[in-house]
Chains A and B, each alone.
Chain A
Amino acid sequence: MSVWIFSDAFLITLFSFITVAISLNLEAGFTGIPNFGKHVFVFVGAFAAQGIGVRIAAWIYEKVEPQAAQQALEHLRSMVPGATWKSLVGAAADVDANRIVVNNYLRPFFVSHVGLEALLVVLLLVVTVALALFFGLIASYAALRLKEDYLAILLLSFAELMVMVLFYQSQSLNGGNQGLWAITFTSDPVKFALIGSGALAFISYLYAERLANSPMGRAMRAVRDDDVAASVFGRDIAVIRLKVILVSSVLAGLAGFFFIQNAALSTSMTFNRVIWTFLPWAMIILGGMANNLGAVVGAIVFLIGKRLFEYYQIPISNALHLGSSIVSALLPNIFIGIFIIVILYALPQGILPEKPSKTVKFEEILESEQGEEA
């Protein structure tokens, strides 16, 4: 049992979803920003390790070891006539050439140059943050102007346009429909992904908990409950939404960066709306909106449940005499759907309900402040 439930791949997925669920909860649960385009913000981190990461890595390789790079290029030209470094890592017309570049040349080079590797990691984390902020700004531009319903649709459309059209159709950005190998780190990238995504999930939780129990947490919930009343009491709604979107985008982007370390070859479609938007939504609804621990619990319960269904899919399918029909193949999704409906009926607040923002020790102040009974 432990073998398949707690495999590294499962844990990396779990940690990544915990971070994304926490980040979405800051927006949707606490601030009432219906971000239905979450997937593009996760994809941003993958893009930093793929389309951008490989380019930067190749550039460094060429600068540091021009001769080796030249030899590598000649070898590659036997596969892809007329190839240049640029065409091999960027507009990867040939995913095999791209694999060889990344796995046979770039990775071994960085693994043997630990200093440069550390530099590249830091650089790409900075790129992830910068890209996340940029995409967050684009999303905020709409968020500050639209009503909630329109905003949800707009963010979904924006994300779909990016993930399904721009990055999927254009070969030169991220390998298009063939995908691209990510630049991965250390001689054990899975361990790197595990530690990175785990640390990120942990830090995200601590951060979100502190924020929720600060005056900012209270302000976010006020904006969510009644934006007119919040602005009548002096709050610039646009600024509060902007801040939350930016910080949430950064968390989601970093989650994507570590996740892709364990899914090195992928297209932008890996970050599709079902997996990286609808699932996180289901997780926070299940766990409890505006409750950080709820987001964590939601992610854990959901992923373990999904995993169990997938594992027992065949026995269940057989027991129900479904044979190999399409229903059988869709069984996990059907169970997820039923599960969500049951939870929404049984626990409309989610597993863990919202709590007040515990900024200071209220009881102590109530004790000491007798108040003026007029």
Chain B
Amino acid sequence: MDYILEAHDLVKKFGELRALDGVTIRVPRGMVTLLIGPNGSGKTTFINTVSGVYKPDAGRVIFDGEDITDLPPHERFRKGLVRSFQVPRLFTGLTVLENTAFARYGNPGEGVISGILKKIWLGFETQTVRKAVRLISFTKLRHLWDKRPGELSGGQMKLLEVSRVMMPDQPKLVLMDEPTSGVFPSLAHEIFRYIRRLREEYGMTFLIVEHRLDIAVEYADYAYAMAYGKVVAEGKPREVLENPKVIESYLGG
């Protein structure tokens, strides 16, 4: 099996609490992998550690064959690792369209000199805004394009997070932290169908943290389940869901 991401024995402590207690997760390339587990089991901490927002206390993160454990978030992004946030971290002063457009990296106009030379960036920027418009049309935010995040509902903020994470060019791995929480079911299905299509047509890889298992399980190829900072099961999504340890962790948690 070819893995795009291999996290080995990750440990992350918050004081006495071991939020990650020796977590090993491998994400197969070109597939949609689910990461499930009850509240507080360490899923978000895992995403934060893999994306460089947190430094692990122990363990390594291998991405596309390269050890990225010590790289800052922006360098991980540039290697093709993209993530979204469970609690939206939107740019509060930027509009819906700007939030989405910003998520595409590589704009030649992001300099204090090149910025004022419109010729240099007009082409790239036009493409960027077009793509952003298409994405916010898909996530049903088009009519809110010039609104700021403060004017959106909770569900719309999540949809903006989803639009943002879909924006970067050809990511190798997209990590999504509960993309559909607070989103109405029909749109949640659409988002998962879209993810599925990106996987099928472009071979993109996803690792998705999701609580809405009824929806997510239809679209995933593989699943990991965590409890108390440890991986308790992995395998085919339905099998993982029926695993007694997983069921017990949900009941106990």
Chain A residues within CB distance 8 Å of chain B:
207, 210-211, 214-219, 221-222, 224-226, 228-237, 240, 243-244, 246-247, 290, 354, 356-357, 359-360, 362, 365-366, 369-374
Contacts and interface: CB of A to CB of B under 8 A. Distances in A.
A232 B53 CA distance: 8
Given A234-B105, A371-B138, A373-B137, A215 B121 contact: yes
Given A216-B111, A233-B102, A234-B77, A369 B134 contact: yes
B247 interface: no
Interface in B94-143: 94-95, 97-98, 101-103, 105-107, 109-112, 114-116, 118, 121-122, 125-126, 129-130, 133-134, 136-138, 142
B146 interface: yes
Interface string B178-193: 0000000000001001
B238 interface: no
Interface stretch (B5-13, B15-23, B83-91, B204-212): B83-91
Contacts of B155: none
Contact of B91 (A216, A229, A370, A372): A229
A224 B121 CA distance: 22
A236 B53 CA distance: 13
30 contacts: A215-B107, A215-B115, A215-B125, A216-B112, A216-B115, A218-B101, A219-B110, A221-B94, A222-B91, A225-B93, A225-B94, A226-B90, A226-B92, A229-B85, A229-B91, A231-B77, A233-B82, A233-B105, A235-B110, A236-B74, A240-B110, A356-B94, A356-B98, A359-B121, A360-B125, A362-B145, A362-B146, A369-B134, A371-B134, A374-B193
Contacts of A246: 112
A365 B77 contact: no
A242 to B, nearest CB: 10
Given A215-B115, A356-B146, 19 more contacts: A210-B116, A214-B118, A219-B102, A222-B91, A225-B94, A231-B74, A232-B51, A232-B52, A234-B106, A234-B168, A235-B74, A240-B110, A356-B98, A360-B126, A365-B129, A371-B136, A372-B138, A374-B138, A374-B193
Interface of B: 51-53, 72-74, 77-78, 82-83, 85, 89-95, 97-98, 101-103, 105-107, 109-112, 114-116, 118, 121-122, 125-126, 129-130, 133-134, 136-138, 142, 145-146, 164, 168, 190, 193-194
Contact of B168 (A218, A233, A365): A233
A354 B73 CA distance: 28
List the 9 closest A-B pairs by CB distance, nearest first.
A371-B137, A216-B115, A214-B115, A234-B105, A215-B109, A234-B77, A225-B91, A210-B116, A215-B107
Contacts of A207: 116
A235 B91 contact: no
B110 A216 contact: yes
